[in-house]
A and B are shown apart, each in its own frame.
Chain A
Amino acid sequence: MDDFVQLVSLLASTVRLSIPLILCALAGLFAERAGVVDIGLEGKMLAAAFAAGTVAALSGSAWIGLIAAIIVAVVFSMIHAFACITHRGNQVVSGMALNVLAVGLTAVLAFAWFREGGQTPALSGAARFAPIVLPFADTIGQVPILGPIYARLISGHNALVYLTVAIIPIVSFVIFKTRFGLRLRAVGENPHAVDTAGISVAWLRYRALICTGVLCGVAGSYLATAMASAFQREMTAGRGFLALAALIFGKWMPVPAVLACLLFAFADALQGRLQGVALPIVGVVPVQAIQALPYLLTVLLLAGFVGKAVAPKASGIPYAKEK
């Protein structure tokens, strides 16, 4: 029974760790399906986390922080759009530039404004997204098997977790069942076909990148005001890239990408628990090696098990009418 509770709590932390990955992967999905490579997910998420931390600290409301985070991430996304769509710049260079900009800018501003060594002030109360206890969690929690699952795995997460769970089917529906989704998928495969069908390629891609920005904003806000209780320097720790890897691993499909995110998050949750634990045969493994687990898993999966990942055909190629 104790093992079972352990497992449930491992899964619960998997869910918590997976949220920023899932949001970011879905954000990347909008961009890449529209034919814009976005390695700037990391930077957008970091800038959003900073905005959320700052505004939540000043306003005392996590929700206002969330709105600020979304605005900042969308602005970053629009810079990427302006460079890559309007001016047909190199998408990798632009994305990387945004990443570097976000790392530097957030640290400098945090230091200048708050003088706490690059952090934003610690948040408490309404300035954070607090866990929500679902009805009857206590009573149902007493039931064997189902009890702990309901009380620990399903109940007790913050609002953004439930929001994300709702976003997944919505994204899937938008991509596959709506006019916007059809055009989005088409423009990532053959923008010429979209253009000759009388649809503006640029406007379509701009809208896709707005979606990317919104989702990155939620991800950033989750990091600073739900998972942690302040913005910290470089707190995204490569999650944007991990999400990109999950997107590729999931072959640019929403549900498989989400599953890939869960897998990476599971590895992350596991490494948290394995630190300092003596494993059979090998004994105690150095912390650093354990911490490397999710990243190692990424490399292995991408290198070996993914099979042939076919990216959207026009991904990364600026659209020009002349062939």
Chain B
Amino acid sequence: MTQTALRLSGIDKRFGPVHANRSIDLSVAKGSIHGIVGENGAGKSTLMSIVYGYYQADSGTIEVDGKRVTIASPQDAIAAGIGMVHQHFMLVENFTVLENVLLGAEGGALLAKGEAAARAELARLARDYGLDVDLDAKIEDLHVGAQQRVEILKALYRGARILILDEPTAVLTPQEADKLFELLALWRSQGSTVLLITHKLREIMAITDRVTVMRQGAIVATRETKDTSQAELAELMVGRRVATRVPKSAAAPGAEILRVEHLSCIDERGAARLQDISFSVRAGEIVGIAGVSGNGQTEILETLAGLRAVASGRILYKGEALPPPGTPARAKFARSVAIAHVPEDRHRMGMVVGFDAYETAILGYHDDDALRRGPLLSESRSIERCRDLMGQFDVRPADPRLRSGQFSGGNQQKIVLGREIDRDPDLLLVGQPTRGVDIGAIEFIHKRIVEMRDRGKAILLVSCELDEILALADRILVVCGGRIIGEADGAAADEKRLGLMMAGIAA
């Protein structure tokens, strides 16, 4: 008979009209790794925030180690032995590692005494779990993998016996993720408990003992991991059968559309962001750029889209220099020669959250004559175009007057992608097409991108999800530190080798 570390009974939570959690019953065995999967908005994060005391449930009870507890604040959760590593790290960036660990557990009104004690304790934790971090380094100087270790240290330092991890691998290379999983396995072997929230089914299969699937705020199933499969879990998450990988024929590349030669660019502070980048994209192929976020992918897309100046090197588009010699980089020019751009961060660059959907649907193409009536922009024509787009791209709800921000992530992305694909570009630059998008919509978006390729268009895809690159790209380039450090054929790519290249280890 295994003991129960955490038992939730009848947890219910509403945010206004949204029913985020519907009478959740969940029990997590002590000394196990329990996965929780579900699409965005399925209520996973809300549930975990309730366990961690960030929100209070409207009804329901929580038991830790068989004892009923009231968790009204994170402080109560910490006292009950629950630690949480949030998806967006809860770290103070200009503080040192030590200061971040101490925050909230200072051990007295003056810092000096607590610091000495913490150093000793952290040295022990570092030794026992291989969590090596320089305690005096500033958080902003650490890479994300190390920042995550700080988050874990924070939880361990507070004596957590139940650790909740929310999408922990989203920012890690495959090797870093493996290292994290080793740590979790070690932690489990000592009788502690892990709750792992993720949407990556592969990880669920690799590391968890049991898995719970959530859909629309409710638990739809709990399975022993060894008795289930990725396909079954995906189906449970979405509520229907989905293809985890869209079918795709071999590419039939045609003429070269884009050629980049020795491209370099520098940022506002004068630091080199891209160094000596060379590659080409042909018609009818998808070239994927893989890499850990922040290694130059953004700059490549922005330079090609005319948002960023070229420092040296050149870009040839259909054999001609882009931008034309003597002119500055301009997004408008790129559009005029049939280059479309789906930015990585749709909220920052792809749309205006406060605009109605029909306004977002014409952004950047607002000077199109077809949308004009006399000298003015015609609202009715814009709405008509948006309605048409929503039909083609299955945007729900199909209401052009709804505010852009009120659509789900997947539907927002469909509007942005639809807007760009609808112009029938010869070169599509697409960044993170499925970030924050649920599985059903991922399938749809992937299909549309492959469809474009099959119509003979050139596509440059940037994604930090290696799975997405592997699913779509015909050719893969790996970037690290602003350089292209490797290339692989899409069909024959070896994930492990790509992972090492992403970490800058092997070429």
* A196 contacts B93, C-beta separation under 8 Å: no
Please tell me which one of the listed residues A179, A189, A198, A321 contacts residue B111 in the complex, with CB atoms under 8 A apart: A179
Tell me, rounded to whole Å, the shortest Cβ–Cβ distance linking A171 to chain B. 15
Of B75, B77, B90, B104, the most chain A CB neighbours within 10 A belong to: B104
Is the CB–CB distance between A196 and B54 below 8 Å? yes
- A178-B111, A321-B54 given; A198·B92 CB < 8 A: no
In the complex, whether B88 has a CB less than 8 A from a CB of chain A is yes
Q: How far is the CA of A323 from the CA of B347 in the complex (A)?
A: 14
Contact: A197 with B103, CB < 8 Å? yes
Binds B, one of A96-104, A180-188, A223-231: A180-188
| Residue B78, interface by CB 8 Å | yes
Is A193 an interface position by the 8 A CB rule?
Answer: yes
From A178, A186, A198, give the contact of B73 (CB < 8 A). Answer: A198
Determine the distance from Cα of A323 to Cα of B86 in the docked complex, in whole angstroms.
12
Does A190 sit within 8 A of B, measured CB to CB?
A: yes
B94 lies within 8 A of chain A by Cβ: yes
Contact check, B106 vs A190: say whether CB atoms are below 8 A apart: no
Given contacts A186-B92, A196-B74, A197-B74, contact A177 B112 (CB under 8 A): yes
A302 within 8 A of B: no
Q: Which of B73-105 contact A (CB under 8 A)?
A: 73-78, 84, 86, 88, 90-95, 99-100, 102-105
Chain A residues with CB under 8 Å of B78's CB are 198
Partner pick for A186 among B74, B95, B110, CB 8 A cutoff: B95
**Considering the chains assembled together, what is the distance between the CA atoms of A195 and B103 in angstroms?**
10
Q: Which of A179, A185, A189 contacts B106 (CB 8 A)?
A: A179
Known contacts A195-B54, A196-B84, A197-B74; is-contact A182 B91 (Cβ 8 Å): no
Q: Are A199 and B104 in contact (CB under 8 A)?
A: yes
Pick the contact of B103: A177, A182, A313 (CB < 8 A): A182
Contact A179 B93 (CB under 8 A): no
Cβ proximity bits A36-75 to B, threshold 8 Å, 1 near / 0 not: 0000000000000000000000000000000000000000
Are B103 and A183 in contact (CB-based, < 8 A)?
A: yes
**A198 engages B74 (CB within 8 Å):** yes
For B, the interface residue count at a CB cutoff of 8 angstroms equals 33
B104 to A194, Cβ gap below 8 A? yes
Task: Check B108 for interface membership: any CB of A closer than 8 A.
Answer: yes
Query: Closest residue to A198 on the B side, CB-wise?
Result: B75
A183-B103, A186-B95, A189-B95 given; A196·B109 CB < 8 A: no
**From A183, A197, A200, contact of B90 by CB (8 A):** A197
CA distance A174 to B437 in the complex (A): 46
Taking a contact as CB atoms under 8 Å apart, the answer to whether B109 and A180 are in contact is yes
A192 interfacial contact with B, CB 8 Å: yes
A190 touches B111 (CB 8 A): no
Secondary structure of the B contact surface, majority rule? loop
Point out the residues of chain A lying under 8 angstroms from B102, CB to CB.
Answer: 182
Contact of A190 among B54, B91, B110, B112 (CB under 8 A): B91
Contact A192 B103 (CB under 8 A): no
Given contacts A178-B109, A179-B108, A197-B103, are A185 and B90 in contact (CB under 8 A)? no
* Contact between B100 and A193, CB atoms less than 8 A apart: yes
Say what secondary structure dominates the interface of chain A.
helix
In contact, A186 and B103 (Cβ under 8 angstroms): yes
Indicate if B444 sits at the interface (CB-CB under 8 A). Answer: no
Q: Mark B323-341, 1 if CB is under 8 A from A, else 0.
A: 0000000000000000000
Of B73, B102, B103, B110, the most chain A CB neighbours within 10 A belong to: B103
Inter-subunit contact B90/A192 (CB<8 Å): yes
Chain B residue with minimal CB distance to A180? B109
Find the B residue at minimum CB distance from A322. Answer: B15
- Alpha-carbon separation in the docked complex, A180 to B109 (Å): 7
Please report the C-alpha to C-alpha distance between residue A190 and residue B110 in the assembled complex, in whole angstroms: 21
Contact A182 B111 (CB under 8 A): yes
Smallest distance from the beta carbon of A213 to chain B beta carbons, Å?
22
A residues less than 8 Å from B106 (CB atoms)? 179, 182
Which residues of B (39-55) have their CB < 8 Å from a CB of A?
A: 52-55
A189 to B55, CA, bound (A): 22
Which residues on A sit within 8 Å (CB–CB) of B108?
A: 179
Kindly provide the distance from the CB of A63 to the nearest chain B CB, expressed in whole angstroms. 28
Query: A186–B139 Cα gap in the complex (Å)?
Result: 13
By a CB distance below 8 angstroms, the chain B residues around A197 are: 74, 90, 103-105, 154
Q: A195-246: which have CB < 8 Å to B? A: 195-200
User: Complex: how many Å from CA A193 to CA B53?
Assistant: 14
**In the complex, what residue of chain B is closest to A310 when comparing beta carbons?**
B94
**Of B84, B93, B110, which contacts A178 at CB under 8 A?**
B110
Closest Cβ neighbor of A176 among chain B residues: B111
Question: Across the two chains, which residue of chain B brings its CB closest to A196?
Answer: B90
Q: Are A194 and B103 in contact (CB under 8 A)?
A: yes
The answer to whether B103 touches A323 (Cβ under 8 A) is no
Additional A-B contact list (14), CB under 8 Å, known A186-B95, A196-B54, A198-B74: A178-B109, A179-B109, A179-B110, A179-B114, A185-B92, A186-B92, A186-B103, A190-B90, A195-B90, A197-B74, A197-B103, A200-B73, A321-B55, A323-B88
Interface CB pairs A-B, < 8 A, 13: A182-B102, A182-B111, A186-B103, A190-B92, A190-B93, A193-B100, A194-B103, A194-B104, A195-B74, A196-B52, A196-B86, A198-B77, A323-B88
Residues of A bordering B, CB below 8 Å: 177-183, 185-186, 189-190, 192-200, 313, 321, 323
Which 10 A-B residue pairs are closest in the complex by CB-CB distance? A197-B104, A198-B75, A179-B106, A193-B90, A198-B74, A196-B90, A189-B92, A186-B92, A190-B92, A197-B103
